[in-house]
Chains A and B, each alone.
Chain A
Amino acid sequence: MTTLHPDEAAAWGLAGKGRRGHDPSNPDGTLINDQSVRPELVLGDRDFHSVTETICGWNEAKTPKWWLGAFGLSTSIAGLGTLMIVYLIITGVGVWGLQNPVAWGWAIVNFVWWVGIGHAGTLISAILCLFKQKWRTSINRFAEAMTIFAVICAGTFPGIHVGRVWMAWMLFPIPNSNWIWPNFRSPLLWDVFAVGTYFTVSLLFWYMGMIPDLASLRDRATIRLIDKMERGVQGTALLFDKIAAYAYGFLSMGWRFSTRHWNNYEKTYLMLAGLATPLVLSVHSVVSFDFAVSIVPGWHTTIFPPYFVAGAIFSGFAMVLTLLIPARALFPGMKDFVTARTVENMCKIITVTGTMVGFAYITEFFIAWYGANPFEQQTFIRRMFGPYWWAYWAMFTCNVVSPQVFWFKWCRTNIPFIFLITIVVNIGMWFERFVIVSTLSSDFMPSAWGYYSPTFVDIGTFIGSLGIFMTLFLLFCRFLPMLAISEVKNVMHQAHEHLHPHDDHHGEGH
């Protein structure tokens, strides 16, 4: 089974390249354009054993130096964020830049940004699973983990913005002595339920998917332990293997790789995928309701729910790539799983969702004009040419213009360039929410118009949330299986019996 089809030269001809033979710009050979073959999903002539060895090896190897450095930096930044939160709690929400009429500032921007980022994981693991997109197997675990951490960061902001954090439990409809109930007609309350449900289901999905791989790590740690004990090793030299065996053993919940276990696993996986799919749509729809149910010009527009969902997937994919590209370079052998084709596919999704977001901007703008509502029209003109013009154009350039570069194959296959664009997209999506919030600074009463600026606490908390995110993410990379081992094996050609008895030229990685 070669990676490349014999028709490779013809494929390159079809792609308009006019080149023959192995292409240097296409080192892993998956970027073929031939319509009669499917590219391999796993490269490097691997067998099942080498897949397990590589993926478990990332967790079992000696801690890399870069990891320690990155972890130190991330935890320091996370510490800064924590300090800011402590300062906020002991002083009060006045330390933020909020002022009437801008009662929602960076906190809601950060919340929506993080929740949006948290959409890609479940999209990749649930929706792409239902669509049987097999290339997703190498990135789904990674993206799900990122989802969980992003939602944790998101949840911080509504939690701390209530001012008296010790009263945050009153967000939940729990009977209390004063008979004060949350307002069930408020989308802010729906948020609590929507994000809470989303987090729970995503966590279950992520954890459930990891159980077989955790069991692999457990078994490997146990074997190492026994091996060492047989060789007469004693004392602290056994400590790490003991911890690993017990911790992974606890987490793998008695998984024994029996057929019955796999059967339950597959069923649960499919059911959770089915349950998570509507959640991908509902969470950001509800977040969009936070704005859209109000009667503030520029906030109230009916296209918000699908537009927010598209934007969420857009930013989520960008963040997955932002993390994946360095990981792919740093962890040995990862490029065999996360192939150039996988990255290219993700770039295409970024272009699609970015264009959908752009479509929504243009729809909004057109209908603001067509609706003939002077307040709405003024809002859009002020967004573009008012005091926050820089935010609007930053948003538009980053979100609509920048992803269009992926129409060109060079851009989709040039890894450093993709990395750059994903950062740009992340910035743009942050500005999208900032543009919505900054609209408040010029509301119906011109005498109240002002200019909203964040304080150092706003900025520090946001940067701190990035640190929390990175810290969690680095921990995940170090201690948990980063790729879904069984799923990756399932899309390798060895996993399928020979489907074409007379076939000796079709790719089998489909």
Chain B
Amino acid sequence: MHVSPEKVLSKENIYLGDRSGGMLWAALSFVGLALIGVAVIGALAGDVMAKSVALYALHTGALIAMGFSIGAMVFVMLFRAVEAGWSISVRRQFENVMSLWWVGALLIVGVVILQMVLTRTSEGGHDAPYLWKWMNPAYTEGDTIYQAKAAYLSPLFFYIRLVVYFAIWGGLATGLWYYSTQQDLDGDKRHSLHARNLAYVGMVVGAFSLLFASTDLVMSLDYHWFSTMLPVWFFAGCLGSGIALVVLTLIVLRSMGRLHVLFTSEHQHDLSKLVFGFAVCFWAYIAFSQYMLIWYANIPEETAFFDIRKQPGTLWVIISWVLPIAHFILPFIFFLPRPIRRSSAGTAFVCVWLILVHIIDWWWMIRPNIHGSTGMHWIDVVGVAGPVLLFVGLLIRKVASGPLVPLRDPRMYEALEHKNYV
């Protein structure tokens, strides 16, 4: 297929336009912020349970927002590192999601601040509202397991580590974004080379930052429990949700008459394979391996995690059954046929579905750590939906603010020619 570059790179094809989505992004962000505000008010004015729930829900929402950016960033680094040609016309959307890393970071900082405020304003004691229970001296008193890891789980060290993670993620995202957008302006091939080298280093540094970040932000919520697979599970969630959000963005853009030739059903097909591979299969592989090994060995210090989530009469046990079906079996069967992967509606549906089950997965990973809580609180919905809507709103603004594709990438011609059957 021969296409004229002028037509493909015309303004109508590769810009969303300032007006499009102008109201939508503002409305979504406003609703998101309002929901976050409601959750914060609930935390400040509610009872002990409401305070705890607000902390956990906002934390879940913040992590999901952060996870979108991390997942998208990993794909950008992957494409850069292997010098992928086919994905160049869709790379900007990954970079857009990646560049919003600060949303998740600010939200996590907000959760830490809310935790500090609640610590000061509410009554102390064993059941005080704590997201990181190991920060509660009344809770860890006489706890030998805590003593053994107190050197790592100390608040000051924890805050320092958070700063380091954000510096790493922010630094990588900013660098990758800079090289890509700078190339739009000057067309210098060297930017591709620099981005590739940054990606090599970023993969290594990013992997270690995720190991410790997932320990701090997820595993330490139940600081007695440990699993070497948890960082990989966290990583799988980031990857799956990140790419699902990007594919959804691309399909919406195409439905608005953009990205002609730049995002064809060929690109969609290959992206869908990655969604299928990471959000469905890789997640299931990791989640199953972790569960199977813990179930099989049946050691109390490890089974505690699944014990809470298998208590009869709780919402957690229902989700424990829903997840393998909704996060693996159903999408696996539905998304396996080629026609679905190439259809806009089918793929968009799967992406929305996968993002929703991902939210449930992470909520289920984090939320049952509140003692004595067996189900959902209205603040859960508000606290999780707020950050997610805020992120989506800001993403719309970001997408509309610049070109939808890299403009002068030296390998763009490969992406334009991309086919699945050669």
Contacts and interface: CB of A to CB of B under 8 A. Distances in A.
A and B form one complex:
yes
Interface in B177-209: 189-190, 192-193, 196, 200, 203-204, 207-208
A506 B413 CA distance: 9
Contacts of B85: 38, 510
A500 B297 contact: no
Contacts of B289: 285, 302, 304-306
Given A289-B293, A367-B226, A36 B189 contact: yes
| Best-buried of B215, B296, B298 by chain A (most CB within 10 Å) | B296
Contacts of A35: 83, 189, 192-193, 196, 410-411
Contacts of A506: 413
A331 interface: no
A372 interface: yes
B231 interface: yes
Interface stretch (B43-51, B144-152, B307-315): B144-152
Contacts of A302: 227-230, 289-290, 293-294, 302
Given A359-B207, A364-B228, A300 B286 contact: no
A370 B285 contact: no
Interface in B1-55: 2
Contact of A510 (B292, B296, B410, B414): B414
B190 to A, nearest CB: 6
Nearest to B189: A35
B208 A367 contact: no
Given A36-B189, A302-B293, A372 B149 contact: yes
Nearest to B289: A305
B293 A304 contact: yes
Contacts of A496: 422
Given A36-B189, A300-B297, A370 B215 contact: yes
B417 interface: yes
Range, interface on chain A: 35 or more
| Best-buried of B228, B229, B297, B410 by chain A (most CB within 10 Å) | B228
A35 B83 CA distance: 8
A292 interface: yes
A371 B226 contact: yes
B123 interface: no
Contacts of B230: 302
B301 interface: yes
Nearest to A503: B413
Interface string B380-422: 0000000000000000000000000000001101100100001
A496 B417 CA distance: 13
A250 to B, nearest CB: 33
A32 B353 CA distance: 43
Contact of B410 (A36, A366, A367, A501): A36
Interface in B100-131: none
B271 interface: no
B299 A295 contact: yes
B191 to A, nearest CB: 9
A34 interface: yes
A140 interface: no
B297 A293 contact: yes
A303 B229 contact: yes
B360 interface: no
Interface in B129-166: 145, 148-149, 152
| Best-buried of B149, B204, B230 by chain A (most CB within 10 Å) | B204
8 shortest A-B CB distances, which residue pairs? A36-B410, A303-B228, A302-B229, A372-B148, A35-B192, A371-B226, A305-B289, A293-B296
9 contacts: A35-B193, A35-B196, A285-B285, A293-B296, A293-B297, A302-B229, A302-B293, A304-B289, A496-B422
Interface of A: 14-15, 33-36, 38, 130, 132, 278, 281, 285, 289, 292-295, 300-306, 352, 355, 359-360, 362-364, 366-367, 369-373, 407, 496, 499-501, 503, 506, 510
